[in-house]
Amino acid sequence: MFNDKNMKTTTFILAISIILCACSSAFFACEQKPLDDIIDHCLFNNTEPLEEHNVFGIYPNIAKWQLSGPNYQHPHFNPNNLNEIAFQKSRQIWIVDMCTGEKRLLVSDYVSSLWDWGKTDWLIYTNTGMDLYKIKSNGDSLTRLTTYGIYNTNALFNAKGDKYVYRKIMDIEGFSIIANLDGVHQDTIGGPMRLDRLHWFEEDRLCGKNSEGIGFRNIASSEITAVDFIYPHFTVYGAHYLYKEASILWGTKQYIFRTDVYTGERTIVKQGSVSQIYREFDVSSNQSTILVIRSDMTPGSPSYIIEERKHLCLMDIDGKNERRIVIDW
């Protein structure tokens, strides 16, 4: 049995061990703001704040748009490890460990779009030949999943990560297919459905933009419901269902919104501007943090050129504490 003295000694040793573990790398700061009381994380290591701005006021008249710096696209959290993120950089796929600062090249070329990172540790992407491929996060088991169709795109894993849905274009006809991890077709979903705007959060339910607005689609019944109404041409960069708030998080260039699924009330989570755009995003598995591509636009030279610089950014789920991830290229 433990007496008081042994208990105090054990507590002291445990506290010292935690401190030594947290400060084991001199490269990162020891003090970290916890995102929750359960998961140890290093997400905000090696990050820096970004200023908010609107240098144009309204949309400028431009003749040329040019990108300055890395072309970041399609960011994703590792669903099994809060400290790892994956993203597309031009035609490559990279993974960064936020604890160690290690970055590793997963796919070196011919990447068209990185679509998702599943619970079973598969990453799925479309190559420049418009076929789907899957690969493990350690670089093993690269596998081609599709062999026909003009376009095979917009792949999305279910919550368990044991199957995925994707969009196949044959000639001018398009339809959505559900397949297992071997690429074997299990079901076909008819009608238009932009899978890159959705989140497959339950076995038969997707959320995001649909023909009615922001809402849900039932895969089994094809029923579509809306909780927030937007114009059909409205650009939506992504959506994610938040269990704790019973709401849908969705992004539209200058804004990231949250809509309550019961009341339909829309709340501004993050507001940008004409020169501060928020693009594709993902939400951590514990739903505490948003990983998003932010584009900052500035006037170039000559004046008809607009320069765009993309940043990988983190922010709390309520839009606060926005930070740019510092990566040494």
CA distance 78 to 243: 19
**Structural tokens at position 172:** 């001018």
Report helix, strand or coil for 261: coil
Pairwise CA distance, residues 12 & 167, whole Å: 56
- Residue with more model confidence, 196 or 327: 327
pLDDT at 61: 67
Q: The whole model's pTM is what?
A: 0.84
Which are the contacts of 225, defined by CB distance < 8 A and separation ≥ 6? 212, 215, 216
CA 148 centroid distance within chain: 28
The pLDDT of residue 2 is above 60: no
The reported pLDDT for the residue numbered 195 is 62
d(Cα 5, Cα 151) in Å, to the nearest integer? 68
Instruction: Give the whole-angstrom CA distance, residue 84 versus residue 59.
Output: 36
Reduced to 3 states (helix: H, G, I; strand: E, B; else coil), residue 171 is coil
CATH architecture designation of domain 48-325: 6 Propeller (2.120)
Beta-carbon contacts of residue 289 (< 8 Å; ≥ 6 apart) = 35, 43, 77, 82, 283, 314, 315, 316, 317
Residue 81 scores a pLDDT above 90: yes
Positive or negative torsion for Cα 51, 55, 56, 57: positive
**Average pLDDT score over residue span 307-321:** 95
Query: Is the pLDDT score of 329 beyond 60?
Result: yes
Task: Reply yes or no on whether the pLDDT at 60 is more than 80.
Answer: no
Has residue 328 got a pLDDT over 70?
A: yes
Q: Categorize the per-residue pLDDT at 51 as very low, low, confident or very high, splitting at 50, 70 and 90.
A: confident
Mean pLDDT of 76-95: 97
- In terms of phi and psi (left: phi > 0; alpha: psi -120 to 50; beta: otherwise), the region of 114 is beta
> How confident is residue 11, by pLDDT bands cut at 50, 70 and 90?
very low
Q: Work out the mean pLDDT of the chain and round it to a whole number.
A: 85
Contact 124, 133 (CB under 8 A): yes
Q: Look up residue 76 and give its amino acid.
A: H
